[in-house]
Structure 1
Amino acid sequence: MREFDEDVVIVGSGFGGSVAALRLSEKGYRVRVFEAGRRFEDADFATTSWQVRRYLWAPRLGCYGVQRIHRLPHVMILAGAGVGGGSLNYANTLYEPGESFFADAQWPRGIDWRSELATHYATAKRMLGVVEHYPHTGPVERIMAGAAADLGVAESFRHAPIGVFLGMPGVTVPDPFFAGDGPDRTGCTLCGNCMVGCRVGAKNTLMKNYLALAERQGAEIEPLRTITEVRGDPRGGFLVTSESSGGWLRRRQRTIRAEQVVLAAGTWGTQQLLHRMKASGALPHISDTVGRLTRTNSEALDGAVATRVPDTARLAEGVAITTSFHVDERTHVENVRYGPGSNLMGMLATVLVPGDRGPLGRVASLLGRLVRHPLRQLRLGSLRRWSERGIIALVMQSADNSLTLSLRRRLGRDILTSRQGHGEPNPSYLPEAHRASKAIAARMAMETGVPAEARGSWPEVFGIPLTAHFLGGSVIGESAEHGVIDAHHRVWGHPGLHVVDGSAVPANPGVNPALTITALAERAISHWPRRGEADQRPPQPSG
């Protein structure tokens, strides 16, 4: 008789893991969720991004915040940490992708994926409390509309769909989403600090919906536990080993046995585990395609900043992302803001340099601007009230480009590295992002009456773009020769192991991917049988 500590262990508590926790608990499974990050109540979040220990994730340095930063040779990655994963520090922006996403050749044939996912997108929107159009118009929204008009794409301008409880600002009411089964909620105050962590209680994080309801169904969540190994057990199921996050000496390592495992540690965490477990032999049948089709959403983070805070235009007031437009059919631009005082991420910003020049040319261009206009660049580059002087331009593309990730041994540790992959080269900069940022800067100057300039990022100067939407690498495929998981998100060769997070996404959506990850997870878990019932999913081919 097989005895398991848990029916299902879920690694990670972001959008995929949270869906799995709720839906599998509803189906009668004993569920345990391990999360590397800490658990936050609303009052635990940083008041501004300068509270580094509450904002940044670097546990070995005593920082247990919500913002992870990873680096690869071809991209710098911004990700989330904590119970609720990326929902804690994302910008609440919940778009559906366009047709090109569903037309990508990587999707397994025989399924109309857009139609297949339609009901699951609807469920995800209901669960995440999507407001289809941000209802407020202020100076930033007018600047974005004007920039779209100046670029000749006014018809593409729209207000963003957001996952925020607007309500009465600052007023707490009983759960308005789940017939009283969810937590009390407080109306949004438009403080702008969505991405630092919502202290108001207005942001529809996963702790306000999926995870709160999952715990009511009996799911257990263990924060500050990092999974170090998932190993197939000859007796059946998997041995899952965890340790204290950030521990130097007292790691408190522990192993439990689970019948099934769901990997939902985000693209970075899930890929790292799969690569390591394949290399060590703990999960020897993982597809050789692991790491391929890793996507960055073909993304860049540029923007515009004024030389001083405008007297009348309150640029930092509002939800983090409120509007968007399309520069062309595959390039999507959104405004992003931080609230007053949250100026730390301004350290990444610098002069917008011509991306078509080589490394020396980009550095020379930057130095030339600093030498020719030292006082202006000093004002533009100052972190003082940076969030109140600028607009970040988040630019995403549905282009077919990718990286291939693999393990590299360095200083006695296995780390992820990257090389160019399938399709177009993953871009080191986006000319469309530069065009959009310049248009936004021109409109900002016109709207506020204060001189403004387009800005880039320090990594981009060295040919390394920024992305907040790291995807793929463990993608859906028709067979182990085409992907890591099957159409039901079961790992090829290890069918009791599942991948249900952004690493399963096979193509660049060109929009914020949170809604798509949630819909894919809803679909995957909908096909699981109830505990004790027959599994109607077709078995994977043997051998």
Structure 2
Amino acid sequence: MTGFDHDVVIVGSGFGGSVAALRLASKGYRVHVYEAGRRFADADFAKTSWDVRRYLWAPAIGCFGVQRIHKLPHVMVLAGAGVGGGSLNYANTLYEPGPSFFEDRQWRGLADWQAELAPHYTTAKRMLGVVPQYPHFGPVEQIMEDAANDLGVGATFRRAPVGVWFGRPGETVPDPFFGGEGPDRTGCTLCGNCMVGCRVGAKNTLAKNYLALAERLGTTIEPLRTVVEVRERPGGGFTVTTVRSGAWFGRDRRAVSAEQVVFAAGTWGTQQLLHRMKDSGALPGLSDALGRLTRTNSEALDGAVAVSVPEELGLASGVAITTSFHVDERTHVENVRYGPGSNLMGALATGLVPGGRPLLGRLGALIGGALRHPITTLRLTSLRRWSERGIIALVMQTADNSLTLSLRRRFGRTVLTSAQGEGEPNPSHLPGAHLAAQAIAARMQAAGGVPVEARGSWPEVFGIPLTAHFLGGAVVSGTPERGVVDPYHRVWGHPGLHVVDGAAMPANPGVNPSLTITAMAERALSYWPRRSAADQRPTQEELLDRRG
């Protein structure tokens, strides 16, 4: 691997990209990582979500925060930005999926996935510092347990596995995870602002494990650079072109060469880049299956909000997610919180409207409720101390539904769009989410002694669910007709390209996917040879020959 600027260029620094950075550096490769977002020290994160320049990602207008928001016809997507990707603003919740994920028809028969991924889950848990059970139990956790019992599913209630250094609250100690090789850590103060960015230093973001260790081994990370093209070179390898993130003028277009490229820009970023490269002819061998089996984790965000702050409940005290239960065998519910002062996302909340009605019927239900109870509605819609007055219910399903993404021209620009895909239609609302929100609201009201109402979201009113777990579209497959990457995560038709982020996931896991993305990346990178060693993986031609 000579004659190239880098052996491997990695696009993105989230869960897949960070694993690739560390494992490839440890095998002797010269690794360079491009990250569209900025690098954050702990003190750089927003104090609350109202500090939009540090919280929201909209670089064209000067916002270089951690929270991306994307809109498609069938879903609104919440994602991450910055060195560390989604780990900067995720809820540090690290569940393993159930058997249905490993047995999904898309990749069933290619391997015994549950057995093969098992050791890599173990590695991922160690690297991400997973605490098997959230160690505190307060009023919110009791509300969740009581709601589960009320629904007759109390046996499914559990405390969440979380990636947080608890230690002594506020006390800084030398790296407790990697024998002093990682950064110092400070004990969690239960401030609740995990998803705004942990200013304490307790959250086990990728910047504190995989990326920190990768940089010690020589990996270079270049923030605020957006990859706009990956093009196959006539003599082998690839040219990777970047521009300055968010620049209107002086985009500072640059190009480097690399023997291999790893796509790990998150499902939105990876899909968008691959679609553009296929459309432009830069990567002519990309499978026509690109965009198929895009998943939303069959997700909804509902919840319960009180008209005033029930002080004794301390709803905003704790880490972002602490417990969960199953409404039914495929519907998983978690409580979610923001810390005091982080009320911006409350602007997305509104009344819970019945599903299955046309838009005018849903709007009519909202308006009718407001007219019947105008004072209560006004108090519920206020953003004042919103994070201290409510519990968000994050609901995920293992249902086999999907979208198909493609490009279209809109107002002179080429953008991603969506259509219903294979399996069941992607849902516009989840009855199980409404049921859970109502049960949580009832228990909140009983515990707090103030009026509480189950709440939905404005996007859901318009038939557009919210998801924080956008997955798939460049999925693992046995042939290029069925997916974009082979079982080793090499891109069909371009084996020097690799997809190791959520875009490669073949099914809805029904739980937070970060641990699974990490484990799948660990497995994929474990098969890479050491630099200059023989590659023991079968070629793509051999894989296809075996399948007949």
Which TM-score applies when normalising by structure 2? Answer: 0.98
Structure-1 separation of matches of 2:4 and 2:223: 21
Give the match for residue 126 of structure 2.
126
Q: Is the 8 A contact 1:108 1:478 kept in 2?
A: no
Contact 2:30–2:218 (Cα < 8 Å) also in 1? yes
- Are the equivalent residues in 1 in contact too, given 2:315–2:389 (CA < 8 A)? yes
Decide whether the 8 Å contact of 1:351 with 1:366 is kept in 2.
Answer: yes
Task: Quote how far apart the aligned CAs of 1:109 are.
Answer: 1.7
Alpha-carbon distance in 1 for matches of 2:22, 2:108:
27
Q: CA deviation at 1:311?
A: 2.8
- 1:355 deviates by 1.1
Matched, 1:46 2:46: yes
Counterpart of 1:163, as a letter, is G
Instruction: Provide the residue aligned with 2:361 in structure 1.
Output: 361
User: What is the identity, as a one-letter code, of the residue corresponding to 2:352?
Assistant: L
In 1, the alpha carbon distance for the partners of 2:237 and 2:537 equals 18
Is the contact between residue 140 and residue 315 of structure 2 (CA under 8 Å) also seen in structure 1?
yes
Structure 1 counterpart SS, 2:289: coil
Mapped to 2, the partners of 1:87 and 1:447 lie a distance apart of 33
Q: Distance in 1 between matches of 2:385 and 2:469?
A: 27
How far 1:147 moved relative to its partner?
A: 0.4
Secondary structure, counterpart of 1:541 in structure 2: helix
Counterpart for residue 411 of structure 2 = 411
1:111-510 aligned within 5 A: 111-510=111-510
Secondary structure at 1:405 match in 2: strand
Counterpart amino acid of residue 98 in structure 1: G
Distance (Å, rounded) in 1 between the aligned partners of 2:509 and 2:132: 18
Q: Which residue of 2 aligns with 1:91?
A: 91
Q: Displacement of 1:507 after TM fit?
A: 0.1
Aligned AA for 2:79? A
How high is the sequence identity, in percent, across the aligned residues?
A: 76
Shift of 1:64: 0.1
Deviates more, 1:407-416 or 1:279-288: 407-416
Q: Give 3-state SS (helix, strand or coil) of 2:116's partner.
A: helix
1:337-391: CA deviations, max 9, x gaps?
A: 0000000000000000011111110011011111111100111111000000000
- 1:485, 1:479 → 2: CA distance? 8
Q: CA RMSD in A?
A: 0.9
The 3-state SS of whatever aligns with 1:68 is strand
| C-alpha separation in 2, matches of 1:151 and 1:72 | 33
| CA distance in structure 2 between the aligned counterparts of 1:387 and 1:229, rounded to whole angstroms | 41
Secondary structure in 1 aligned to 2:427?
coil
* Gap runs ≥5 in structure 2: none
Q: For residues 110 and 321 of structure 1, what CA distance do their matches in structure 2 show?
A: 34
CA deviation vs aligned residue, 1:135-179 (integer Å, no higher than 9, x gap):
101111011001000000000000000000000000000000001
* Structure 1 residue 450: Cα displacement: 1.2
- Secondary structure, aligned partner of 1:230: strand
Amino acid at match of 1:17: G
- 2:487 alignment partner, SS class: coil
Distance in 2 (CA, whole Å) between partners of 1:218 and 1:295 is 35
2:413 maps to a residue whose letter is: R
Give 4+ residue runs of structure 1 displaced > 6 Å after superposition: none
SS at match of 2:130: coil
1:312 partner SS: helix
Give distance in 2, aligned partners of 1:138 and 1:520. 34
The one-letter amino acid paired with 2:384 is R
1:462-491: CA deviations, max 9, x gaps?
000000000000000001011100000000
Q: Report the Cα distance in structure 2 between the residues aligned to 1:128 and 1:135, rounded to whole angstroms.
A: 17
Distance 1:411 1:376 in 2: 41
The 2-side partners of 1:311 and 1:207 are apart by 35
AA aligned opposite 2:225: R
Q: CA deviation at 1:103?
A: 1.0
Query: What corresponds to 2:31 in structure 1?
Result: 31
Distance 1:203 1:78 in 2: 19
Q: Which amino acid aligns with 1:342?
A: S
Q: Give the Cα–Cα distance (whole angstroms) in 2 for the partners of residues 502 and 91 of structure 1.
A: 16
TM-score by length of 1: 0.99
Would you say how many aligned residue pairs link Structure 1 and Structure 2?
Answer: 543
The one-letter code of the counterpart of 1:536 is Q
Task: Provide the secondary structure at the position in 2 that maps to 1:455.
Answer: strand
Query: What CA distance in whole angstroms lies between the structure 2 residues aligned with 1:50 and 1:311?
Result: 22
How far apart, CA to CA, are the structure 2 residues paired with 1:450 and 1:153? 26
Distance 1:197 1:2 in 2: 40
For residue 2 of structure 1, report the CA deviation from its aligned partner. Answer: 5.3
**Which has the higher mean CA deviation after the structures are superposed, 444-453 or 64-73?**
444-453
Q: Which whole-Å CA distance do the structure 1 matches of 2:370 and 2:110 have between them?
A: 57
Whole-Å Cα distance in 2 between the matches of residues 520 and 186 of structure 1?
29
AA aligned opposite 1:480: P
Match of residue 15 from structure 1: 15
Deviations 1:188-223 (A, max 9, x none): 000000000000000000000000000000000000
Name the counterpart of 1:70.
Answer: 70
- On the 8 A contact 1:94/1:513 being kept in 2, the answer is yes
Instruction: Give unmatched runs, 5+ long, in structure 1.
Output: none
